[in-house]
Amino acid sequence: MLSARKTVAAVAAAAVVAAGGLLSAPAAQAADGITVWADPVHAPVIQALLPNGYKGLPVTVVTKDPAAWRAELASVSAADAPDVIWGNLDQTGELAAERTIVPVTLTKKRTAEFRANVLAGSQYGADRYGLPVQISNLALITNTKLVPKQPTTFAALSQLALDLVKSKKKVTVPLALSQGDGSNPWTTFPLFSGLGGYLFGKDADGALNPKDVGLASTRLIKKSGQIDSWNSSGLLSSTLTKAAARRAFVKGKSPFWLAGPEDLPTLLKLDFVYRIGSVPPILKNRKPVPLLTVHGFMVTKFAKKHGVEDQATKLVSRFMSKDKPQLDLASASGWYPANLIAAQKINVGGGRIRAIGGAGLEGVPMPNIPQTAAVWAPYGTAWSVSTSGASATPAADAFRIAQAAAVAAIG
């Protein structure tokens, strides 16, 4: 059976031949619509936003499992391929290197509606390859019954948390920060950044530099004794799982919890008052910041083959970048909108998502370059072995080993 695109192209070709015209090889297939691949949560929203199509073309939204479309995209026939895809923008670097996606350029006015750090999350070389739509990051949740006055430094937070464990039998987990089930890189990053660590430096044009790995940055190594003290005091534990961290906070057994938009259902069910904010400074004049997971749209190389590159690119850069589509899409998943105007309007969770998003205003987007895969395992291992209790490896040694492993893997 011919696909819709093949059928339209065949009919068009037959019409030209019947008219006695001479056929020449077209530069692109006749435009017959824009196809978007999106996950089950956002596919119906995208379709509802475009009931009459876009720029005179129908828009077909195909629901795809986010975990499967990456492999499918590599093998799909051109006729059945998408023009636009929804996904995690940390894939943009790899897809751009493969020339599977094309740059997306926003107007100057629209660019001003997005934070520079968020836009940077899809930069590869000198170009940006995706439109950010929604953001997830961790925030510090505080039980106000246990902590009436918020600590303004991480040292004060640590001491207060440890004192509560000593003085109150019910409090058993000083800081509900999970590491024990693979959540390590995500949850520990605010502390890592707060100590001066970084994943990759940047070139002059703002692109990530895979040759500049900062797992053992000079500042981090100089201040690594902080990690050793967190380990020896019991503030951090490499075996605490995500489920155990959540349970400890919910049951009032921990005064502090690092949580994100995905934890909104849990927050809405809590029967005590809590605050949502940022991790306080560990070092003077340095703000701890979380990692940002950014989802949004990418335009594929197939759009040009289908004859819809201009329309597909404008659909993403001009229409989907507006506050209304951004608000609708982010609200569907309960995440924080990337568009600043939409971020002011979102009301999911009665303002809780705005508060969580506010904790990530200066966050670091998940690195999108292919070499990132070489960093995660060494990074996670360094945190795990340096916070494993009495048998822990000194943090300075752990992170130097991690640095060497990452650099060797990158080559």
* Contact between residue 92 and residue 298 where contact means Cβ atoms under 8 Å apart: yes
Three-class DSSP labels, 283-340: ECCECCCCEEEEEEEEEECHHHHCCCHHHHHHHHHHHCCCHHHHHHHHHHHCCEECEH
pTM (whole model) above 0.85: yes
Q: How far apart are CA 63 and CA 150, in angstroms?
A: 44
Residue 323 has pLDDT above 80, yes or no: yes
Q: How confident is the model at residue 31 (pLDDT cuts 50, 70, 90)?
A: low
Three-class DSSP labels, 71-131: HHHHHCCHHHCCCEEEEEHHHHHHHHHCCCEECCCCCHHHHCCECHHHHHHHEECCEECCE
Percent of the chain with pLDDT over 90: 87
Nearest to 335 by CA among 123, 86, 54: 86
* Contact between residue 369 and residue 120 where contact means Cβ atoms under 8 Å apart: no
Nearest to 316 by CA among 32, 79, 49, 5: 49
Percent of the chain with pLDDT over 70: 92
Nearest to 399 by CA among 382, 374, 377, 381: 382
Give pLDDT tens digits for 17-29.
Answer: 233 333 333 344 4
Residue ranges and CATH numbers for the domains of the chain are 4-135+293-360 (3.40.190.10), 139-289+369-410 (3.40.190.10)
Q: How much is the mean pLDDT over the chain?
A: 92
What is the per-residue pLDDT for 70?
86
**Residue 300 half-sphere exposure, CB side, CA atoms within 13 Å?**
24
The structure tokens listed for 287 are: 């703000």
What is the per-residue pLDDT for 23?
31
Task: Work out the average pLDDT over 269-284.
Answer: 97
Task: Work out the average pLDDT over 126-137.
Answer: 97
157 φ, ψ (degrees, to nearest 5): -60, -45
